[in-house]
Amino acid sequence: MTVETADALDQDRSGDLSHSQELNPWLAAEARFEEAATRLGLDEGLAKVLRTPSKEIIVHIPVQLDDGRLEVFTGYRVQHSIARGPSKGGIRFAPDVTLDEVRALAAWMTWKCAVVNIPFGGAKGGVICDPMLLSEGELERITRRYTAELIDFLGPERDVPAPDMNTNEQTMAWVMDTYSMHMRHTVTAVVTGKPLDLGGSRGRPEATGRGCMMVTLQALKRFGLTPSSTRVVVQGFGNVGGMAAKLMNEIGFKIITVIEVDGAVLNPKGIDIPALIEHRRETGSILDFPGAENIDAGEAMFLDCDVLLPAAKENVITSQNAHKIRARILCEGANGPTTPLADAVLADHGVFVIPDILANAGGVTVSYFEWVQDRQGFFWNEDLVNARLEELMVSNFDHVVSYAEKHAVNNRIAAYMLAIDRVAFALKLRGIYA
Ligand code: NAD
């Protein structure tokens, strides 16, 4: 196990970003942090603490493969901040996981939890592996050994993982079980995003998409739009995008385009989303759907629309293409879909941005509810979960937007300023333990 010091990170800090740097998630997060901290007039020492992750843990985990061979996988867990409570953040499995990426996502989680004012800091984890090439048994052994290596760093009061890219409810059940075996009793609150039967929360699978819808509804009011007069383009038809599209469709939004890895479909009158979900289930693709026409995925994001909801991956809106966006509202379902250089272009074009740390915070908010319910041992019905989610999403949307107006900054910088201010305040109250 290696725990890196902050010195190495300091070398990565930079002022203006080049085009290649804008795609580096750590530098992208840093750029937003620096701007927000400067505008806040944050004390340099506090800024140093807040921009540096609290812990970076690297584990090399030996796992026996199904054919008997022994393989060693590398995993990371970065705990960015515990100033406001236990750190919180997903675990992803992917061949291209890097420490920079995990570090950026951990910091993002700190700001995201602070924006919606829930009592967590930020963390993120990842294992470099290709889940497509691994059996269920191999994935289980990776998950359990990764959890066991991190056992001293996890816990309901320490660090609470959740699913992320290529991990799911089952992965969380394995983490929970492994942790519980070491603790000698069942500890459901050590992870969120668990199956309902193991202490999961009602409404969690829908929460991120539902949160995107809630903040979009708030934004519509500013444009005098109603759902039925609003045309939406959704990129990524997975958990976030698919759920947001389904829920928005239910209340009358016109989802005119859905973009996926293999292509895009368009119906200017609005796509029947449940039928598209069914079509994809049957054929494995959104293409050739009878209720829409296939269109070029490369251009679909730049269609004339009211709301663009990127919900696939990071860095899809960059300095190279931001000028082509024709949406009035950009609701960032994905983490980091827009680079810092693109922010300026969008601002010039008057696009109303609902930044990722606010727009997609519905997931971590209901994760917080799951953690609360596990600790209470008392479970809420779905209406209560959704009502409490709405309360937090709407009030914090209003906070961010009025903060932006008051301080004449864009919504993203306002969200960062609010978040940084909240974490810095907690840090000051606690003081630095010598
Ligand atoms: P997912 O894997 O369920 O869905 C992503 C979808 O995007 C997939 O269907 C994939 O085929 C598609 N996709 C990938 N690349 C694409 C591309 N270039 N163009 C179009 N489509 C593409 O993942 P998810 O859980 O929905 O997460 C999506 C994004 O939202 C990620 O950035 C994730 O970090 C973020 N996010 C997720 C949650 C959550 O609760 N799931 C919460 C907050 C943020």
Flag whether pLDDT at 4 surpasses 70: no
Q: Residue 28's pLDDT band (boundaries 50, 70, 90)?
A: confident
Residue 63 φ/ψ region, left for φ over 0, alpha for ψ in the -120 to 50 degree band, beta for the rest: beta
Structure tokens at 347: 């601002």
The CA-based dihedral angle spanning residues 93, 95, 98, 101, taken in that order and rounded to the nearest 10 degrees: -60
Q: How far apart are CA 103 and CA 84, in angstroms?
A: 18
- In this prediction, residue 25 carries a pLDDT of 75
* CA of 240, closest atom in ligand 1: 26
Residue with tokens 């107006």: 405
List the strands of the sheet with 159-163, edge to edge: 2-3, 55-64, 70-79, 121-128, 87-94, 159-163
Q: What residue owns the CA closest to ligand 1's atom 34?
A: 335
Flag whether pLDDT at 86 surpasses 70: yes
Flag whether pLDDT at 306 surpasses 60: yes
Pocket probe for ligand 1: among 240, 316, 370, the residue whose CB has the most ligand atoms within 8 Å is 240
- In this prediction, residue 1 carries a pLDDT of 39
- In this prediction, residue 22 carries a pLDDT of 85
Average model confidence (pLDDT) across the chain: 94
Q: How far apart are CA 158 and CA 221, in angstroms?
A: 40
Cα–Cα separations (whole angstroms), residue 18 to 52, 116, 144, 291, 340:
22, 31, 40, 43, 10
Concatenated DSSP letters of 89-122: EEEEEETT--HHHHHHHHHHHHHHHHHTT-S-EE
Residue with tokens 């191999």: 138
Flag whether pLDDT at 92 surpasses 80: yes
Segment 182-220, tens digit of pLDDT: 999 999 999 999 999 999 999 999 999 999 999 999 999
131 alpha carbon, distance to own chain's centre: 20
**CA 337 to centroid of ligand 1, rounded, Å:** 10
Flag whether pLDDT at 286 surpasses 90: yes
Pocket probe for ligand 1: among 91, 120, 296, 313, the residue whose CB has the most ligand atoms within 8 Å is 313
* CA of 207, closest atom in ligand 1: 40
- In this prediction, residue 17 carries a pLDDT of 74
Q: What residue owns the CA closest to ligand 1's atom 28?
A: 312
- In this prediction, residue 30 carries a pLDDT of 86
Q: How far apart are CA 385 and CA 201, in angstroms?
A: 8
Residues ≥6 apart with Cβ < 8 Å to 262: 285, 286, 287, 297
Other beta carbons less than 10 A from residue 111's beta carbon: 29
Are 146 and 64 in contact, with CB atoms under 8 Å apart?
A: no
**CA 115 to centroid of ligand 1, rounded, Å:** 21
Cα–Cα separations (whole angstroms), residue 172 to 66, 67, 198, 401:
22, 25, 10, 35
* CA of 314, closest atom in ligand 1: 32
Q: How far apart are CA 186 and CA 67, in angstroms?
A: 32
Flag whether pLDDT at 16 surpasses 80: no
Pocket probe for ligand 1: among 206, 261, 314, the residue whose CB has the most ligand atoms within 8 Å is 261
Structure tokens at 264: 């895009």
How much is the pTM? 0.94
Q: What residue owns the CA closest to ligand 1's atom 33?
A: 334
Flag whether pLDDT at 310 surpasses 60: yes
> How many alpha carbons lie under 13 Å from residue 7 in its C-beta half-sphere?
2
Q: What residue owns the CA closest to ligand 1's atom 43?
A: 360
**CA 164 to centroid of ligand 1, rounded, Å:** 9
Pick the closest to residue 129 from 84, 72, 170, 171 (CA basis).
72
* CA of 363, closest atom in ligand 1: 40
Q: How far apart are CA 123 and CA 61, in angstroms?
A: 20
Structure tokens at 222: 């500013």
Active site positions, annotated: 124
Q: How far apart are CA 265 and CA 263, in angstroms?
A: 7
Q: Pocket around ligand 1: residues whose beta carbon is below 6 Å from it?
A: 208, 235-241, 259-261, 311-313, 333-335, 360, 363
Flag whether pLDDT at 9 surpasses 90: no
Q: What is the DSSP letter of 120?
A: -
Q: How far apart are CA 156 and CA 375, in angstroms?
A: 9
Mean predicted confidence (pLDDT) in 97-123: 95
The pair phi, psi for residue 12, each rounded to 5°, is -80, -10
Flag whether pLDDT at 163 surpasses 60: yes
Q: Residue 14's pLDDT band (boundaries 50, 70, 90)?
A: very low
Cα–Cα separations (whole angstroms), residue 363 to 164, 202, 318, 342:
11, 12, 25, 25
Helix (H) or strand (E) holding 159: strand 159-163
* CA of 162, closest atom in ligand 1: 40
Q: Residue 434's pLDDT band (boundaries 50, 70, 90)?
A: confident
Residue with tokens 């967590």: 120
Other beta carbons less than 10 A from residue 347's beta carbon: 16
Segment 360-391, tens digit of pLDDT: 999 999 999 999 999 999 999 999 999 999 99
